[in-house]
Chains A and B, each alone.
Chain A
Amino acid sequence: MDGAGAGLSKRIIKETQRLLQEPVVGIDAIPDEHNARYFHVAVAGPEGSPFEGGVFKLELFLPEEYPMSAPKVRFMTKIYHPNIDRLGRICLDILKDKWSPALQIRTVLLSIQALLSAPNPDDPLDNQVAEQWKVNEALAVSTAREWTKQYAKQ
């Protein structure tokens, strides 16, 4: 109803300004020059995780209905993670049924960063990786570390 048009694109402007002015540590989100709804994102692998030392590129797109529906986020960098598949798609509840317009780009990216720290093989997107994580976690972690070195160099 009211506030659907002008108010909410105003929201995107405000979010963008804040992301640039007060960036989150370990996260870069830069809007595309040609499309204000498309963000080039880089997330640093969290300390203590197998992804430490890597920088992971993501793309984030705000659909027409944003913030009434969730942003679309995808890993561009190859990553060995039970909740992220080969195409970079992410299994994260807030990007699906747990989305709320009270969430923001910032909170979504923080949640993704947290997902890197705490892989959840019980709710997998990539079954093979998840299986490996359950059967032999040490091996999985070392694979993840390998991939990080190989694909997520700074």
Chain B
Amino acid sequence: MENNRTEDDFYGQLIVLGYNGSETVPYQQNGQGGGPSSASSSQMISTRHTLRRKASPNGVIPSTKHYVVADPASSASMRDRRHFVSFVKSRTETLIQEYQADNFTDMFQIGRSTDKPIDVTVKDTRCTDADGEEMPADHRNVPGSKNCGGETSLIPPHRDSTISRFACRVLVNRTSYPVPRVFAAGFDNHRNICLGEKAPKWLTESGMDGLTTNGVLLWHPPSWGRLVHGSEAQNSTWCQWLEVSVRGAILTLRSSRSAKTRGHLLASECNVVRDGSLIDLCGVTLLFRTKEGLDNSPTTKELDERLASMNADRPQCPVGMNTLVIPRQRNAVAVKSATDQPYIYMTCGHVQGRHGWGEQPNKLKKCPICFKDGSIVRMCMGMEPAFYVGKDVTPTHAFNPCGHIANFETLDYWSKIPFPHEASAFKPVGAACPFCITLLDAKSPIVRIIFP
């Protein structure tokens, strides 16, 4: 956590987008391969993961040993439980690339699995583009879906995940200047990565390389909170989504997320992640922050104090004349005392309580202050400090349409990062709120909020 950042063994932190500062979220893993009767287990998974120097190095790198076998299950590598990547060329021909221990690196594996080889367990955090309250009633209060603050728990539960169980791995050298590098695919329980017949594969000078089915994408800003414009954008790959291979090569995007033809290799690019880098695992996106980056970010305590001071001003609904209370999480407070919940009129930004005036036939509401028609959305404080950009974190704007508030610099930055979303529709569709992964309105992604 943030109070331990001064230690030398701190490599950085991975923060899962979409949880607005909740430290843990419930995770239900369906029984794997056991059919419908297999029990699904429920546990809590963390949304922030600190990468620290391990007690002993556990990184693995490709060895010089590689050979072709007919049946990888019976190969010597499998028997000896060595790390290897198998590139399936055909049903009768598989290339085995062995990996060997590397005493200079620590390895962190990320994926949907809760098995031991995975350091960072992630689950789907898909975009929900509707405010919970505006959803049909039968979608709300699903029995058993007790909400522990996870903002995205309204997602329909039965949808196949597109995240790999062993999605990617990060290797960090164990020096005083840790350099984290990302590679597609993680080693499974058998210390094996298997690239199937259909996965894009190619031969390089150093051996076979390949991509995973849904791919691992990277996005880097030139520095935290900064985006590139104009000629700078044309002459660099900053702020562009790129794909990383199993060996850590960087490529341009495929024609669709899981297309069978790879993008172009970008020889000058490397797979190092820096402060502000995003790692997309097709269904979940992680933000990497360095120690320095986090040291310059607000703390949760600061955000709490900022929120407390805004609420201490006792903003009032101009209609009900009741005091409004800005919540830290969207669902928790709204259920308890709905009359305290501030709403933002998204066309004009006026903040009010919920009242019955101004209903329009098309689900819009007329603002009683300026008479403009617009949707109304519950306001909620952006509580994840690692997403904040800039020094003054006083919230002045809200994301449209989810209603998360933060300072302008933060919203401006995130509203300009296009997100790759689905496995099927691949093209970066638009920006999303980092606090809840709601896709932002293309025309006006952010709204200035006006308290009465």
A68 with B338: in contact, given A10-B320, A102-B319, A102-B368 (CB under 8 Å)? no
**A54 interface contact, C-beta 8 A:** no
Q: Is the CB of A2 within 8 A of B354?
A: yes
B322 interfacial contact with A, CB 8 Å: yes
With A and B bound together, what is the CA distance between A100 and B353 in angstroms? 15
- The answer to the question of B140 belonging to the interface, with a C-beta cut-off of 8 Å to chain A, is no
Count class of interface residues, chain B: 10 to 19
Chain A residues near B369 (CB, 8 Å)? 100, 102
Cross-interface CB contact of B321 among A1, A2, A11, cutoff 8 Å? A11
Q: Is B355 an interface residue (CB 8 A)?
A: yes
State which residues 315-371 of B face A: CB under 8 Å: 318-322, 338-339, 353-357, 368-369, 371
Residues of B within 8 A of A101 (CB): 318-319, 355, 357, 368
Chain A residues bordering chain B, tally (CB within 8 A): 15
Q: A15 interface residue, CB < 8 Å from B?
A: yes
The residue among A14, A68, A100, A102 with the most chain B CB atoms within 10 A of its own CB is: A102
Establish whether residues B320 and A100, one from each chain, have CB atoms under 8 Å apart when the complex forms: no
> Which of B318, B321, B322, B368 lies at the interface centre, i.e. has the most chain A CB atoms within 10 A of its CB?
B321
By DSSP majority rule, is chain B's interface helix, strand, loop, or mixed? loop
A48 at the interface (CB under 8 A from B): no
**CB-based contact B322/A68 at 8 Å:** no
A3 and B320 contact, CB distance less than 8 A:
yes
Q: Kindly identify, within residues 15 to 69 of chain A, every residue whose CB is under 8 Å from any CB belonging to chain B.
A: 15, 67-68
Q: In the bound complex, do residue A100 and residue B371 qualify as a contact, i.e. CB atoms below 8 Å apart?
A: yes
Give the distance in Å from the alpha carbon of A2 to the alpha carbon of B339 in the complex: 7
Q: Which of B166-187 contact A (CB under 8 A)?
A: none
CA distance A68 to B368 in the complex (A): 10
With A10-B320, A67-B319 as contacts: A3 and B368 at CB distance below 8 Å: no
Who on chain A is nearest to B371 by CB?
Answer: A100
Min distance, Cβ A98 to any Cβ of chain B, angstroms: 8
Known A8-B320, A67-B319: A1·B368 in contact at CB below 8 Å: no
| Closest residue of B by beta carbon distance from A67 | B319
A93 to chain B, nearest CB (A): 12
A4 interfacial by beta-carbon distance below 8 Å: yes
Instruction: Give the nearest-CB partner of B319 in chain A.
Output: A101
Q: How far is the CB of A19 from chain B (nearest CB, A)?
A: 13
Bound: A1/B356 CA distance, A: 6
Interchain CB contact under 8 A, A3 and B339: yes
Q: A3-B339, A7-B322, A100-B371 are in contact. List 10 more A-B contacts (CB 8 A).
A: A3-B322, A3-B356, A4-B356, A7-B339, A11-B321, A15-B321, A68-B356, A68-B357, A102-B318, A102-B319
Task: Give 6 nearest A-B pairs by CB, closest first.
Answer: A102-B368, A100-B368, A101-B319, A102-B318, A11-B321, A7-B320
